[in-house]
Chains A and B, each alone.
Chain A
Amino acid sequence: MLQKLFALLLFASLQAMAATPAELLAGYVAQAGQSASAAKGEAFFKASHGQEWQCTSCHGKSPMTGGRHASTDKAIEPLAPAANAKRFTDSAKVEKWFRRNCKDVLARECSAAEKADVLAWLISVR
């Protein structure tokens, strides 16, 4: 029982541990079992997936400049790590926002391959 608790705590602390965008990308690539494509990620990010909102509705057209929330107008900082060093440095936060935003934009969660592609593109943007 105690061992199980320690394992759980270790898992939780690893989840919350600071990471780099490259480490997170490597994680998604491993999970997907295929390499990431920045080109596919860009197309995915800019496409309409049949819902009211697209990624760009809130994040803006360029991940280097950021955007504004489509309904509240709150400023949203740039997604590209080149423009915003805080992005993709906390795995739990990244997972939380992928889960929520994919449901808003695709009405489902994103696959590991989709996350890998988008992250590969965001890392490549300068």
Chain B
Amino acid sequence: MRSAVAASVLLAAPVWADSYKGPTPPAAYTQECGSCHLAFPPNLLPKASWQRVMHGLDKHYGSDASLDAATQKQIDTWLQTYGGQGKRAREEPPQDRITRSAWFERKHREVSAATFKRAAIKSPTNCAACHRDAAQGDFDEDRVRIPK
């Protein structure tokens, strides 16, 4: 049984290896977290990192992203329930930045710092510059298009 599951995962894996297929976040997550940047898939940080992020929104990477108490609690609770699952969430990256995770740096080792600074990209945080359907959780390597 276990090997059958493993086999089916292996068969299905190549297409979705880099894409998010977990539970759909609530509307508040998509709206609030997605207004300044991509509403990042919740599996990209461990729960402890999400908790620090959600309790420091007034100083959120150089910007005030504070929320009303009810919305903050709703998103925090959701991330503590469904966030931090899978292999990407095994480490707490420096400053709780997804882009400082070892897996992120490994996956992007062929992308130079100069490329990340291009006018059409600006920063490694701007997932959708190269992963066009990142908002739908699609990070498939075959569909990456790096703008000139």
Task: List chain B residues, Cβ under 8 A from A71.
Answer: 61-63, 122-123, 125
Task: Closest A residue to B127 by CB, please name it.
Answer: A72
- Do the beta carbons of B125 and A72 come within 8 Å of each other? yes
Task: List chain B residues, Cβ under 8 A from A92.
Answer: 68
- Do the beta carbons of A73 and B64 come within 8 Å of each other? no
Per-residue interface assignment for chain A, residues 4 to 47, with 1 indicating a CB less than 8 Å from any chain B CB and 0 otherwise: 00000000000000000000000000000000000000000000
- Residues A99 and B36 in contact in the complex (CB < 8 Å), given A73-B121, A73-B122: no
For residue B74, CB closer than 8 A to chain A, the reply is no
CA distance A69 to B61 in the complex (A): 13
CA distance A99 to B129 in the complex (A): 29
Task: List chain A residues, Cβ under 8 A from B61.
Answer: 71
Contacting chain B: which of A79-87, A100-108, A118-126?
A: A100-108
Distance in angstroms from A46 CB to nearest chain B CB is: 20
Query: Using a Cβ cutoff of 8 Å, how many contacts connect chains A and B?
Result: 39
For residue B37, CB closer than 8 A to chain A, the reply is yes
Pick from B66, B68, B123: contact of A73, CB under 8 Å: B123
For residue B126, CB closer than 8 A to chain A, the reply is yes
Main secondary structure of the interface of B (DSSP, over half): loop
Distance in angstroms from A15 CB to nearest chain B CB is: 10
Distance in angstroms from A60 CB to nearest chain B CB is: 15
Distance in angstroms from A55 CB to nearest chain B CB is: 13
- Do the beta carbons of A73 and B63 come within 8 Å of each other? no
- Do the beta carbons of B65 and A100 come within 8 Å of each other? yes
Task: List chain A residues, Cβ under 8 A from B67.
Answer: 96
- Do the beta carbons of B37 and A69 come within 8 Å of each other? yes
- Do the beta carbons of B129 and A73 come within 8 Å of each other? yes
Task: Closest B residue to A109 by CB, please name it.
Answer: B64
CA distance A81 to B30 in the complex (A): 24
CA distance A74 to B33 in the complex (A): 12
What are 14 A-B residue pairs whose CB atoms fall within 8 Å in the complex? Answer: A69-B36, A71-B61, A71-B122, A71-B125, A72-B125, A72-B126, A73-B129, A74-B37, A74-B38, A74-B126, A100-B63, A100-B64, A103-B58, A103-B64
Q: Give the 9 A-B CB pairs with smallest separation, nearest first.
A: A73-B122, A103-B64, A100-B64, A72-B37, A73-B126, A72-B125, A69-B36, A104-B64, A104-B63
11 additional A-B residue pairs with CB within 8 Å, beyond A72-B37, A72-B123, A103-B58: A71-B62, A71-B63, A72-B36, A73-B121, A73-B126, A74-B36, A74-B38, A96-B67, A96-B68, A103-B64, A104-B64
